[in-house]
Amino acid sequence: MKKVLLATTALLGLVALSAPVQADPLKVTVGGSVAFEAGFADEDFDSNYRNYDFTSTPNVVVGAEGKASNGLVYGGKIELDNESDFVGSSTFARQDSIEFDKAVTYLSGKWGRVELGDENSAANRLTVTAPTGFGTGGFAGDYQKFLLINNVGDTTNFNLTRSAEGFYFRGLANSYKPTLTESGLEDYEDSTKVTYLTPKFAGFQLGVSYTPTVGSELTGVSRDKYTSYSGGTPALWAQYEDLIEAAANYSYKFDNGLGLGASVGYNYAKAVKTTTANAAREDLGSLNAGLSGTYQGFTLGGGYTYDGQSGLRKATQTSDDAAQSYNVGLQYATGPFAVGVNYLSAENEGDVTDADNNKLQVVGLGGTYELAPGLSTFAEVDFVNYESEGAFLVGNTSKKYDSTVFVLGTKLDF
């Protein structure tokens, strides 16, 4: 890993030494989006709750870019999103706040592109999956916002009994991309990292990202090499380090209008040491592949992610089922319309001493219509089925959960 860092530093040094005296003035842009959604959920175990609500999602992106006289393109961006957190354990009230989601600077030229900061990884962007460009994205969309299993802090009336491994629903739902699902690190892609993307050549592009500490973002710094935790669900950012994400992507469009896309990638993160023997975990590893085809407005595609035994506690591995997921979907887009359907199936072992697995299936069906430039409306329905190793409610032995979620909304991109 030190060699990777030295190579990256050397590359940046060469770019700096070749920097020209003159350059065009930086061009600053401001954009973003605002979306409004109305959601209705017919959900198991929700007799004490209202089955509908509204939500709005603002997003602001400020960017700056310039081009030097030797052809070097340089710039950066800052992205602001809203974040919602619980503010009380008795009322389960939520409070929104605006926070920095991404902050990155970049350099690009004929040699490729280097990114420094908080941005989605190369593997995340190069991965091919089932199409998600309709409604809110089907299995990759916003149905999760309206599910109590994800959003309610009520541990008495709506409590999912989680295993000692800390596996949970949201991690499975986000497993359609290589996100190391067994550790629940669904937000790790915004960790501070260095990324390199090659130029495209004959349809091929390669990319690699390196993150020193998983979960360390923006101004956060964590230099721990030896940490202590025991039992339960320790802080995820204290468990893994030296995350490497690499992917290869191929895209090509033939003269007859047929387009092909494919990807393959691998992610790896090292488990940090622990002073508690039975808390030691396997390193994280995730292999993924995807394939898609487009023709006359139709897109058919899918992907597969295999996470194996990564993230499991070494001392308690008595079962060896692998964590994995696959997805498939079909989309049609023409003019202002886009409609589609997709399917996700994901599973992980959960508690390795239990013969059962945690399993999730989601079917998403929806459409989008552009009313005017930048203004669109959308509708979507998602069917969710989840089987857990543990019971969902205190005093209730049920391990199965079903929900149907309807989402209607509008979005303005500017």
148 three-class SS: helix
Contact of 385 with 370, CB cutoff 8 Å: no
Which of 378, 402, 398, 382 lies closest to 390 in space, CA to CA? Answer: 398
16 three-class SS: helix
- Distance, in Å, from the CA atom of 233 to the CA atom of 163, rounded to the nearest integer, reads 9
Secondary structure tally for the chain: helices H, strands E: 4, 18
User: Residue 395, by phi and psi: left (phi above 0), alpha (psi -120 to 50) or beta?
Assistant: left
**Which run of H or E residues covers position 170?**
helix 169-173
Asked if residue 312 is part of any domain, the answer here is yes
pLDDT band at 383 (very low <50, low <70, confident <90, very high): very high
Q: Note the pLDDT of residue 182.
A: 43
Residue 191 has pLDDT above 70, yes or no: yes
The single-letter DSSP state of residue 140 is G
Partners of 30 in beta bridges: 62
Asked if residue 341 is part of any domain, the answer here is yes
- Distance, in Å, from the CA atom of 107 to the CA atom of 66, rounded to the nearest integer, reads 10
Asked if residue 78 is part of any domain, the answer here is no
189 three-class SS: helix
Q: Which tens digits make up the pLDDT trace of 342-382?
A: 999 998 776 666 677 788 999 999 999 999 999 999 999 99
- Distance, in Å, from the CA atom of 54 to the CA atom of 146, rounded to the nearest integer, reads 9
- Distance, in Å, from the CA atom of 168 to the CA atom of 157, rounded to the nearest integer, reads 18
Q: Note the pLDDT of residue 332.
A: 98
Asked if residue 355 is part of any domain, the answer here is yes
Asked if residue 24 is part of any domain, the answer here is no
The single-letter DSSP state of residue 198 is P
pLDDT band at 181 (very low <50, low <70, confident <90, very high): very low
- Distance, in Å, from the CA atom of 410 to the CA atom of 136, rounded to the nearest integer, reads 10
Point out the least confidently predicted range of 45-54, 85-94, 168-177, 340-349: 85-94
Point out the least confidently predicted range of 127-131, 149-153, 177-181: 177-181
Asked if residue 181 is part of any domain, the answer here is yes
Who wins on pLDDT, 296 or 46? Answer: 296
The CATH number of the domain where 383 resides is what?
Answer: 2.40.160
* Distances 45 to 206, 347, 385, 404 between C-alpha atoms, Å: 46, 22, 13, 13
Domain interval for residue 304:
36-58+121-190+202-413
CA within 13 Å, CB half, 319: 13
Q: Taking the mean position of all CA atoms in its chain, how far away is CA 197?
A: 19
Q: Which tens digits make up the pLDDT trace of 70-99?
A: 899 999 999 988 766 555 544 455 556 667
Asked if residue 102 is part of any domain, the answer here is no
Q: Which tens digits make up the pLDDT trace of 11-34?
A: 555 555 455 546 668 999 999 999
**Which run of H or E residues covers position 359?**
strand 358-372
Top-confidence range, 69-78, 304-313, 317-326, 381-390: 69-78
Q: How many domains does the chain have?
A: 1
338 three-class SS: strand
Residue 164 has pLDDT above 70, yes or no: no
Q: Note the pLDDT of residue 248.
A: 97
Asked if residue 398 is part of any domain, the answer here is yes
Residue 299 has pLDDT above 90, yes or no: yes
Q: Note the pLDDT of residue 234.
A: 45
pLDDT band at 265 (very low <50, low <70, confident <90, very high): very high
Contact of 124 with 178, CB cutoff 8 Å: yes
pLDDT band at 318 (very low <50, low <70, confident <90, very high): low
Partners of 95 in beta bridges: 85
